[in-house]
């Protein structure tokens, strides 16, 4: 054989071993120890004589089959259980053996421990019961007793260990899920902290826009008014223009900073206004800066504090936009408070042919001074209006903004003016957050409980009930089956024992040599299925058929037995088999029976 051929064969062998190892993973030392433990009962039973005499090759074959079962128990636990059950059925159709009974229980436990689902067991146990039933029926013995022993061995020696293994698997899976859940909660806590920081940044950005933006707009407005004031020399006029440009530039930089800090998600609660500020003070300060303002406001302390804060922000943002985009245009501020809600309206007209868009923060036209549009006029991010919309929605109200016509309604020509309007309920309702399938006027209802969220108390209770039911139902079914089996076995045992009793007086009336027709009326319906041959006196007559009967109907105790032997249709021998006890007691009882 060439070297190349040898190398190819070696590689093929290694590949085959690797495939086998991948399909049937092995742990040599634990599996070897398990095989030794399972093989000990069979060897001990053979050495001590508990098993019937059998050739050595059968013991070796049984140990080899156990080795194969242990080897495949990790990848194919159902196959391992089938091999152990096959050994038990080969040794005894009732499956009850000292040699392979422990192996059956251990491999059934491993089936429950290593199998993810219950389907392999649902296939394996009925198959073993069916095979055992066929073997029991093939024997020339009482099939009921053998079948009851088979079912009892399968139930208590295989099903219950499988349930224990399955419970162990579920317990370990529960512990692993608990640690995984703890890690997930830790990650979620970190995410919550990050979102809290982002919300704080968004709140700071909103405050900067609402307060500093407003003040910078008023500064630019005052500088513009100073720039066009009569009697001002050229140097001071240039200084006022520089001041206006600096204020506009500062407003642009502020907008850029807000764009960096602002979060895309919903902002946090509206910040508190300064305690010494109010709607009246805000309007007066804007009017003092040169902005023509007409205001109709409610009397002091007429609005609830949350509504007053939201109205303050709406008026502040609207005045800021009016001062920035349409200086010189008259602004009308109206705050009407009713029984259940407050309506805030801020509208402006045009100044020198210039109108401002509150809806998008863009100036339509040129600056009021007649020069090129300022940096603020060239564009805006719409951050202030977006913040207003979100703030009003969180308060449960409705917000509208857009052009209005001569009739005062929205939807007019853009060069006629713009108006913002906010309707604020006095009792906060469900936040208005339109979704993909909701219009601007719809309000979503409360979020229904999500059964998939473990934080939901109802979902958690449902999961706990489901887990308890999944754990309790199999054990309850197995326990009920065990109770039915025990009751059936006890009932059959009592029936067989009661119907195999030959009364001592009838036994004494039987005479050796009597024909079977004379003896049959005195005999019970059934015979003893497990006669005490080891205590029988002497050997039965040659060619005779012997029958065994109980002398008493007592249960779960040793009783006397009678042996009747028939040949050629006649009673040829009868004998009494004493129960386990002293010879004196047995002799005294015999005398009492013969009286």
Instruction: Report pLDDT digits (tens) over 57-85.
Output: 888 888 899 999 988 888 889 999 999 99
Task: Give me the percent of the chain exceeding a pLDDT of 90.
Answer: 12
pLDDT band at 3 (very low <50, low <70, confident <90, very high): low
Is the per-residue pLDDT at 565 higher than 90?
yes
pLDDT tens digits along 362-383: 333 333 333 333 333 334 445 5
Task: Give me the percent of the chain exceeding a pLDDT of 70.
Answer: 73
pLDDT band at 564 (very low <50, low <70, confident <90, very high): very high
**Pairing label, strands 331-337, 293-296:** parallel
What is the pLDDT of the chain when averaged over all its residues? 76
User: If you average pLDDT over residues 312-328, what whole number do you get?
Assistant: 83
pLDDT band at 1 (very low <50, low <70, confident <90, very high): low
pLDDT band at 486 (very low <50, low <70, confident <90, very high): confident
> How many helices (H) and strands (E) would you count in the chain?
17, 10
d(CA 325, CA 335): 23
Give the pLDDT score at 360. 38
Return the half-sphere exposure (C-beta side, CA atoms, 13 A cut-off) of residue 526: 17
CA gyration radius, the chain? 49
SS3 429: coil
SS3 564: strand
pLDDT tens digits along 90-103: 888 888 888 888 99
- Pair 157, 89: CB distance under 8 Å: no
d(CA 78, CA 431): 57
The neighbouring-strand residues paired with 422 are: 344, 399
d(CA 248, CA 374): 7
Q: Please report, for residues 257, 298, 384, the alpha-carbon distance to residue 302 in angstroms, rounded to integers and kept in the order given.
A: 36, 6, 26
Q: Which of 111, 129, 20, 126 is CA-nearest to residue 74?
A: 111
CB proximity list for 387: less than 8 A, separation 6 or greater: 206, 209, 210, 267, 313, 317
Return left, alpha or beta for 276; rule: phi > 0 is left, psi -120 to 50 is alpha, else beta.
Answer: alpha
Give the pLDDT score at 95. 85
- Pair 394, 431: CB distance under 8 Å: yes
Is the per-residue pLDDT at 32 higher than 80?
yes
Q: pTM of whole model > 0.75?
A: no
**Pairing label, strands 418-425, 398-403:** antiparallel
Highest mean pLDDT, choosing among 95-99, 330-334, 538-542: 330-334
Sign of CA dihedral 205, 208, 211, 212: negative
Strands in 390-449 per DSSP E: 398-403, 418-425
**Pairing label, strands 561-567, 398-403:** unpaired
Q: Which of 293, 295, 275, 378 is CA-nearest to residue 335?
A: 295
Ranges 8-12, 275-279, 390-394, 412-416: which has the least confidence: 412-416
Q: What is the DSSP string of 146-175?
A: HHHHHHHHHIIIIIHHHHHHHHHHHHHHHH
Is the per-residue pLDDT at 153 higher than 80?
yes
């Amino acid at each position: 054989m060439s070297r190349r051929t040898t190398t190819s064969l070696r590689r093929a062998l290694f590949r085959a071993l690797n495939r086998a190892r991948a399909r049937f993973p092995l742990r040599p030392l634990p599996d070897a120890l398990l095989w030794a433990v399972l093989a000990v009962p069979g060897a001990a039973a053979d050495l001590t004589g508990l098993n019937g005499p059998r050739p050595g090759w059968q013991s070796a074959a049984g140990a080899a089959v156990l080795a194969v079962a242990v080897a495949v128990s990790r990848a194919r636990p159902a196959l391992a259980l089938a091999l152990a059950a096959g050994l038990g059925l080969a040794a005894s159709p009732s499956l009850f053996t000292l040699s392979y009974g422990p192996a059956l229980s251990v491999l059934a436990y491993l089936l429950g421990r290593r199998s993810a689902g219950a389907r392999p067991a649902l296939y394996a146990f009925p198959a073993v019961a069916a095979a055992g039933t066929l073997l029991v029926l093939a024997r020339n013995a009482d099939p009921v007793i053998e079948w009851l022993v088979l079912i009892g061995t399968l139930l208590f020696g295989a099903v219950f260990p499988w349930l224990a293994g399955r419970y162990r698997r579920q317990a370990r899976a529960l512990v692993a899920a608990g640690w995984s859940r703890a890690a997930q909660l830790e990650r979620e806590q970190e995410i919550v902290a990050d979102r809290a920081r982002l919300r704080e940044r968004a709140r700071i950005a909103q405050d900067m826009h609402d307060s500093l933006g407003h003040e910078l707009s008023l500064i630019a407005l005052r500088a513009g008014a100073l720039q066009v004031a009569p009697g001002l020399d050229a140097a001071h006029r240039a200084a006022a223009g520089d001041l206006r440009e600096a204020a506009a530039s500062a407003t642009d930089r502020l907008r850029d900073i807000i764009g960096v800090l602002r979060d895309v998600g919903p902002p946090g609660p509206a910040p508190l206004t300064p305690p010494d500020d109010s709607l009246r003070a805000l309007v007066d300060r804007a009017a003092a800066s040169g902005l023509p303002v007409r205001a109709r406001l409610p009397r002091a302390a007429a609005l609830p504090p949350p509504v007053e804060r939201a109205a303050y922000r709406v008026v502040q943002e609207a005045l800021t936009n009016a001062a920035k985009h349409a200086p010189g245009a008259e602004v009308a501020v109206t705050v009407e408070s009713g029984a259940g809600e407050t309506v805030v309206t801020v509208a402006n007209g045009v100044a020198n042919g210039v109108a401002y868009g509150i809806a998008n923060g863009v100036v339509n036209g040129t600056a009021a001074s007649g020069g090129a549009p300022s940096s603020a006029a060239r564009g805006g991010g719409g951050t202030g209006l977006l913040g207003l919309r979100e703030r009003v929605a969180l308060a449960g109200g409705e917000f509208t903004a857009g052009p209005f016509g001569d009739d005062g309604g929205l939807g007019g020509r853009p060069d006629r003016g713009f108006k913002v309007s906010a309707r604020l309920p006095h009792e906060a309702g469900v936040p208005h957050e339109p979704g993909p399938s909701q219009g601007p006027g719809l309000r979503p209802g409360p979020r229904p409980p999500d059964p998939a969220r473990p934080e939901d108390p109802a979902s958690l209770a449902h999961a706990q009930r489901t887990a308890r039911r999944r754990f309790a139902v199999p054990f309850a079914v197995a326990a009920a089956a065990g109770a039915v089996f025990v009751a059936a076995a006890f009932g059959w045992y009592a029936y067989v024992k009661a119907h195999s009793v030959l009364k001592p007086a009838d036994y004494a009336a039987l005479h050796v040599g009597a024909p079977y027709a004379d003896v049959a009326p005195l005999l019970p319906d059934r015979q003893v299925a497990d006669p005490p041959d080891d205590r029988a006196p002497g050997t039965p007559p040659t060619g005779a058929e012997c029958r065994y009967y109980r002398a008493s109907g007592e249960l779960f105790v040793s009783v006397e037995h009678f042996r009747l032997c028939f040949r050629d249709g006649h009673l040829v021998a009868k004998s009494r088999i004493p129960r386990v006890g002293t010879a004196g007691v047995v002799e005294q009882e015999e005398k009492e029976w013969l009286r």
